[in-house]
């Protein structure tokens, strides 16, 4: 579900996938309450986008398809999509590097 | 103190530097003090400094907080007993004397010139063992200093609140940060102050014709009411106005937030500048102060990776080169923000606006910092602007924008203040010159919110001295 190729970071940074995932989820829970709902909706849209473009929810796409989708959102003209990716990317990078 | 509802003479809400000092001095003067803190009561050593565990344990919202605007600015606040003092770098400055004069002139603050504050600076400096690092200084910090010296720019080691004890063999240890849980909070508790951690105050309500306050709070999921004759609100520059707004108190509150917008750059040197377990960098370049200052940040592997997340190629080799890299920052004074309560939500919305001139100042600051780092021998520079190419020589500096782009700049800050400025100018200020909220005799503010404008230096020294002075004034000891 979380693959280093999809996130575009060195493989050893995702050695402790479970820990990284639980950190990311916990940080989502901690974020200011007025941001949680919009982020929850965006996360749902992001997952759903995989179904529209790749025939499966994002979490079930192959690593290369996931990477494509991340890159598409990263370079989107919509700032909100870029910010969304940046948020999750920052958490994954920071926690991934912390657990190495 | 009795139960249901809890009663006390003085309630101090928030246990950061402002609240801890206020609670300590009032308790030592024999007042019945209750110190209320939303975060957990953890020792300084509960987690490694600047780690992800620290984010989870001691930061508000896990550090995921942002001031909205164009560009948005990421900020962080402490949320634990001791507040920001438990997570910060301990860099100490007194308030610049010319700034105090400016506050006197523009905000009509009385009794706050350099000579008035001197005894309070000295008391805090003694209590926190403020001094210079006795051991070897971090190389990354020295690089900044050397670069500045080569250019003839003013740069100096900044003193810190660290205590260095000797081991039995006579060697000095790495130093222990003298946060509030190491200094004023134990003193307050020893003097009889009660501490109520994990208790978040929701609102304040005057009772008995304004003679006392009912404090509505939630303590570990349960609603509690606390009665106090006097309340000191010390929740920091964002949460103090948020709490006052929730309580219907709004006069000049939360409309004049200031911060030090900061832009970062990662520098890679040919040699090791950042060995593992290196201490906090302590040099700052003050050539262009008060408008612009440069310094070096914590540059652990996770923080470096995060800072390089916009530079994919660098990100791929950071795990092999990180000991040659360090994060540097350029901070400015500028912009203004406000704090708003959204109906139905607990957390306040923070907005911050930077003018075109502020963005130019940030670009100038970044350019000068990059120039300094190249002079210091950096081989590659990675500015925190999305899509910006790495810079490898002086000519590349021309590629930096003249004004930071609003949509691609990644700004942050750890310095927030001025949301409830003090002074005798009631048109402009939220409190009088000693922190008493206008129109409410027994309600005070004692934290970063009171600073009239951005100080241009690390703020905790100013916050502590002002809280010290105001507590003594409250006690009639000034
Ligand atoms: C990472 C970092 C590094 C820094 N480095 C430096 C440095 O080197 N030098 C320097 O001078 N400054 C530094 N600072 C800034 C400095 O720490 C702050 O300016 C200072 O802590 C502010 O003090 P304060 O008393 O205003 O509020 P805070 O320290 O923010 O304390 C407020 C406290 O109130 C509590 N609170 C808030 N709302 C409520 C509520 N409703 N009910 C109960 N409790 C509540 C909070 O949980 C918090 O503990 C740094 C800050 C950070 C975050």
CB contact under 8 A, B346 and A9: no
Q: What is the mean pLDDT of residues B338-344?
A: 96
Q: Please tell me whether residue B404 adopts helix, strand or coil conformation.
A: coil
Q: Which residues of B touch A97 (CB under 8 A)?
A: 301-302, 305-306, 319
- Predicted local confidence at residue B427, as pLDDT: 97
Residues whose beta carbon lies within 6 Å of some atom of ligand 1: B 13-19, 36-39, 76-80, 83-85, 87-91, 200-201, 234-236, 239, 243, 414-415, 447-448, 458-461, 463
Q: What is the mean pLDDT of residues B25-43?
A: 98
Interface confidence: ipTM more than 0.95: no
pLDDT exceeds 70 at position A8: no
Q: What is the mean pLDDT of residues B343-372?
A: 97
Model confidence band, residue A24 (pLDDT cutoffs 50, 70, 90)? very high
From the list B61, B56, B339, B43, the residue with the least C-alpha distance to B200 is: B61
pLDDT digits (tens, 9 = 90+) for B153-180: 999 999 999 999 888 888 878 889 999 9
**How is residue A100 written in tokens?**
């190495």
For residues B187 and A95, what is the distance between their CA atoms, to the nearest angstrom? 36
Residue A33, min C-alpha distance to chain B (Å): 6
pLDDT exceeds 90 at position B234: yes
Model confidence band, residue B2 (pLDDT cutoffs 50, 70, 90)? very low
| pLDDT, chain B, mean | 96
Tell me the Cα Rg of chain B.
Answer: 22
pLDDT exceeds 70 at position B92: yes
From the list B317, B328, B431, B325, the residue with the least C-alpha distance to B370 is: B328
């Amino acid at each position: 579900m979380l693959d280093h190729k999809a996130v575009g970071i060195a493989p050893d940074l995702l050695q402790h996938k479970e820990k990284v995932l639980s950190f990311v989820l916990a940080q989502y829970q901690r974020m200011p309450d007025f941001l949680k709902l919009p982020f929850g909706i965006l996360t749902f849209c992001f997952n759903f986008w995989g179904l529209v473009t790749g025939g499966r929810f994002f979490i079930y796409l192959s690593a290369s398809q996931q990477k494509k989708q991340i890159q598409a959102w990263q370079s989107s003209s919509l700032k909100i999509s870029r910010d969304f990716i940046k948020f999750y990317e920052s958490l994954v990078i920071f926690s991934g590097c912390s657990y190495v | 103190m009795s139960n249901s509802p809890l009663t006390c003479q003085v309630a101090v809400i928030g246990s950061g530097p402002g609240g801890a000092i206020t609670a300590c001095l009032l308790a030592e003067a024999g007042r019945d003090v209750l110190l209320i803190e939303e975060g957990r009561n953890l020792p300084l050593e509960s987690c490694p400094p600047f780690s992800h565990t620290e984010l989870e344990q001691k930061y508000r919202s896990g550090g995921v907080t942002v001031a909205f605007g164009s560009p948005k600015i990421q900020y962080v606040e402490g949320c634990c007993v001791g507040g920001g003092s438990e997570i910060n770098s301990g860099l100490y400055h007194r308030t610049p004397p010319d700034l105090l004069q400016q506050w006197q002139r523009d905000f009509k603050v009385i009794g706050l010139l350099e000579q008035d504050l001197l005894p309070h600076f000295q008391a805090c400096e003694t209590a926190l063992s403020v001094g210079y690092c006795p051991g070897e200084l971090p190389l990354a910090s020295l690089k900044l200093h050397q670069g500045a010296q080569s250019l003839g720019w003013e740069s100096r080691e900044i003193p810190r609140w660290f205590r260095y004890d000797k081991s039995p063999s006579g060697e000095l240890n790495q130093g222990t940060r003298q946060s509030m849980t190491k200094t004023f909070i134990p003193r307050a508790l020893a003097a009889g102050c009660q501490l109520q951690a994990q208790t978040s105050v929701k609102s304040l309500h005057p009772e008995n014709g304004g003679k006392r306050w009912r404090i509505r709070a939630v303590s570990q999921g349960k609603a509690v009411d606390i009665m106090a004759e006097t309340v000191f609100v010390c929740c920091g520059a964002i949460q103090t106005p948020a709490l006052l707004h929730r309580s219907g108190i709004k006069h000049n509150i939360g409309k004049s937030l200031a911060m030090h917008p900061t832009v970062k750059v990662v520098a890679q040197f040919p040699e090791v500048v950042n060995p593992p377990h290196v201490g906090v960098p302590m040099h700052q370049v003050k050539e262009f102060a008060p408008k612009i200052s440069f310094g070096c940040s914590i540059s652990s592997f996770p923080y470096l990776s995060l800072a390089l997340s916009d530079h994919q190629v660098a990100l791929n080799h950071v795990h092999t080169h990180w000991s040659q890299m360090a994060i540097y920052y350029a901070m400015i004074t500028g912009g203004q923000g406000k704090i708003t309560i959204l109906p139905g939500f607990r957390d306040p919305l923070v907005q911050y606006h930077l003018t075109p001139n502020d963005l130019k100042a940030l670009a100038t600051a970044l350019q000068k910092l990059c120039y300094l780092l190249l002079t210091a021998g950096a081989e590659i520079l990675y500015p925190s602007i999305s899509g910006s190419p790495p810079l490898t020589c002086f000519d590349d500096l021309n590629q930096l924008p003249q004004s930071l782009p609003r949509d691609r700049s990644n700004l942050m800050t750890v310095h927030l203040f001025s949301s409830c400025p003090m002074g005798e100018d009631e048109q402009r200020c939220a409190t009088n010159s000693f922190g008493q909220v206008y129109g409410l005799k027994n309600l005070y503010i004692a934290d970063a919110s009171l600073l009239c404008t951005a100080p241009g230096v690390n703020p905790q020294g100013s916050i502590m001295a002002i809280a010290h002075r105001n507590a003594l004034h409250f006690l009639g000891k000034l």
